[in-house]
Structure 1
Amino acid sequence: MTEDQPALREVERYMRAVIDRAESSGMLDDRAALPLYRVLAYHLGWMDEQFRPARVDGGKRIRPLLCLRCCEAAGGDPSAAAPVGAAIELLHNFTLVHDDIQDRSRTRRHRPTVWALWGEAQAINAGDAMFALSQLALLEVADRLPASSVALLLRAFNETTLRIVEGQVLDLGFEDRPSVSVDEYLTMIRGKTAALTAFAAWSGALVAGADPERLERFRLFGEALGLGFQIRDDYLGIWGRREETGKEPADDIRRRKKSLPIVLLLESMTPPDRELLDSLWSGPEVSDQAVEQVLELLERYGVRERVRAEVARLHQEAHSLLAEAAAPGPARDALAALLDRLATRSG
């Protein structure tokens, strides 16, 4: 992704600026007495656990990149969308900080999570601050757009946040249910994951001045990309490799997570196999032997290939929507290349 680095550096510049301004205008003159902003810098990959400057994995920055590339593909200057990209990335990371608490995840990107280091209460504070900072970052675009467009962006940004939270509520609720339909699963990921990629594509085109019809095409492209991204993530959550995902192999099985592979399995299996699955998941922890048996069930019912096929279908759908939204040229080619990378990613 070397060709994407200049655009992402501009996004990071806005992210750092909004955090630095917030820290400088904070309640205390002594920054060491209020470590909140350094905790955020740790999560974003800018500092280590001792708050020393670092350059570690802070995530792929896919969503802000999508925003900037869609701005360019709609005929705009991608740098004009950088504040929106920064807001999108801060919003995404707000959800990650809180998700890690809810999922009891102690590691992310090969490092301890915020709550694992500083406790749940301070992690909630960090996530709340990240959300407020995302709003401030979005307002940085106010001197580049008409007031009506800024108001539209803010409204859509907050509506997107609600869709993400609704999706997370559904996802957590699935954990206590014996079964979930494919339609229910798709509704959940349309909120939890695809709402933000849809906003990223739509907002980039909005900054470029696209008309309403074209904005909707970009939004649909971003949604299809997000759906495929999440289903690929579900695939990796079971069949991904530790050195590439940073998670234990078959981690979603150990967590009894109702991702698409498990949803498809539950809809397909015979009553005796369902009883077997229930027994494998009945204990406080899922053993290595139980994981292997669940993997065997997934193979027996052809779930792995069905998930791959769904990723491929959404990949093709997103390409078709992109062709409708953007005119041929380097900007559309860059988006197509991004789409291809996401559909085949291993981590």
Structure 2
Amino acid sequence: MGEFTTTETKHGPVPAARRRGPVDGRAPAGPRDPGGEPGTDDGRKPTERPAPFDEQEAEGLLEAARASVDPELRRAVATLPAPLRRIARYHFGWEHADGTPAEGNAGKAVRPALVLAATRALGGSHGAAVRAAAAVELIHNFTLLHDDVMDRDATRRHRPTVWSVFGDADAILAGDALQALAQQMLAEDPHPEARAAAARIAACVVELCAGQQVDTAMERRRPDEVTLDECLDTAEAKTGALLGCACAVGALYAGAGDDDVEALDAFGREAGLAFQLIDDVIGIWGDPRRTGKPAGADLMVRKKSLPVVAALTSGTAAGDELAELYGAPYAEGDLERTVLAVERAGGRDWAQVQAADRMARALHHLSLAVPDPEAAGGLLALAEFVTRRSA
């Protein structure tokens, strides 16, 4: 596996108010056990990539997953009543708002790709897991529809969000319908592990909802009332839980034992938290032409993303400046000052270090279930893809 490169903090100390992994600005040497020592606790070497990261490998896996899953998604959406069907087709990029065909972007298909890669890594059949992969993608899109309403995000995938086109009620109901379709898809799946997968996905949805509830509640609190630990826990529930669930469902469909299923769940959760850390960085410093969202939008609405909370809790002068800015409504011209304050307080560097640490932990968990680097290659490629992206 290629190394994750991180930098020493240039503009201030990295915050120390955290309980997971190093905070000294250095990328971790390797996976760590709960005691913090490099390596695994059973004497085996962690899973490593046999060659440097190849982005084309990950993109090939994502493309193959999308090609496998899209027909299942289209069949499921086609069963919806006409008004909900139209909204869902717009959301997936298959139609314009007026119902005419579109060649839109239905997303990267990271979660279904993880389901299929986990199944292959443990010797299962790709074809047998396609329906489960589609169900996981439906759950992901249910969360996107609801999140956009709650966060008032106006764009997704380079075009207006569903709520901004059809209204809040239709967006919420379309999301509910996608969640129901996911459960129906598994209920009708003859695979012997479909019931276990459905139960796992249902539990994941509850965790996602709990994480979102805490997240929205935190937005109503003052900057000095939010801790870094609770932000990390919330990010794990909101993002890591579904990536972990995707990997665990793939393991179930491969007929894996409980220990391997849980190890892959832990792998996905840690990789998911790394994903969220990078996503938060991109939300502040990403290129809008690539992200499809305006730069700094989260800062304008005073969202307490991970780099922001790291900066707020840094104990630096820049952190104090950021707290003052966050304590008042956004004013025209504040964005540049806010971005600089987050960076000078170490928020960006902390997030990059933390993402590397989480990936190291993810590799440790993966090595327990799939010690063969060749077999683990697909999962590793996908995990590296989502944490190396710049948009």
Structures share fold, TM-score greater than 0.5: yes
1:35 maps to 83
Which protein has the bigger helix share? Answer: 1
Q: Which of 215, 229, 235 lines up with 2:275 in the alignment? A: 229
| One-letter amino acid matched to 1:175 | E
* Residue 322 (structure 2) pairs with residue 277 (structure 1): yes
In the alignment, is the contact (CA less than 8 A) between 1:198 and 1:220 conserved in 2? yes
1:287 maps to 332
* Residue 208 (structure 2) pairs with residue 164 (structure 1): yes
Moved more, 304-313 or 272-281: 272-281
Name segments (4+ residues, structure 1) moved above 6 Å: none
2:297 maps to 251
Cα distance in 1 between the residues matched to 2:200 and 2:220? 31
* Residue 151 (structure 2) pairs with residue 151 (structure 1): no
* Residue 100 (structure 2) pairs with residue 52 (structure 1): yes
Give the RMSD, CA atoms, in angstroms. 1.7
* Residue 74 (structure 2) pairs with residue 74 (structure 1): no
Q: CA deviation at 1:183?
A: 1.1
Q: CA deviation at 1:245?
A: 1.2
Cα distance in 2 between the residues matched to 1:6 and 1:237? 28
In the alignment, is the contact (CA less than 8 A) between 1:68 and 1:204 conserved in 2? yes
TM-score by length of 2: 0.80
Matched-pair identity in %: 37
Q: Which of 147, 158, 176 lines up with 1:110 in the alignment? A: 158
1:35 match: secondary structure: helix
Where do residues 171-186 of structure 1 align in structure 2 (5 Å cutoff)? 171-178=215-222, 179-186=225-232
In the alignment, is the contact (CA less than 8 A) between 1:239 and 1:250 conserved in 2? yes
* Residue 233 (structure 2) pairs with residue 187 (structure 1): yes
Q: CA deviation at 1:201?
A: 0.4
Cα distance in 1 between the residues matched to 2:196 and 2:212? 24
Q: Which of 102, 120, 128 lines up with 2:176 in the alignment? A: 128
Cα distance in 2 between the residues matched to 1:235 and 1:52? 36
| One-letter amino acid matched to 1:205 | A
* Residue 387 (structure 2) pairs with residue 340 (structure 1): no
Q: CA deviation at 1:285?
A: 3.1
Cα distance in 1 between the residues matched to 2:168 and 2:315? 38
TM-score by length of 1: 0.90
Q: CA deviation at 1:35?
A: 2.2
In the alignment, is the contact (CA less than 8 A) between 1:74 and 1:210 conserved in 2? yes
| One-letter amino acid matched to 1:319 | L
Cα distance in 2 between the residues matched to 1:330 and 1:16? 33
Cα distance in 2 between the residues matched to 1:269 and 1:295? 17
Q: CA deviation at 1:225?
A: 0.9
1:29 maps to none
Q: How many residue pairs align between the two structures?
A: 331
Gapped regions of structure 2 (runs ≥ 5): 1-58
In the alignment, is the contact (CA less than 8 A) between 1:71 and 1:208 conserved in 2? yes
Q: Which has the higher contact order (CA 8 A, sep 6+)?
A: 2
Q: CA deviation at 1:5?
A: 2.5
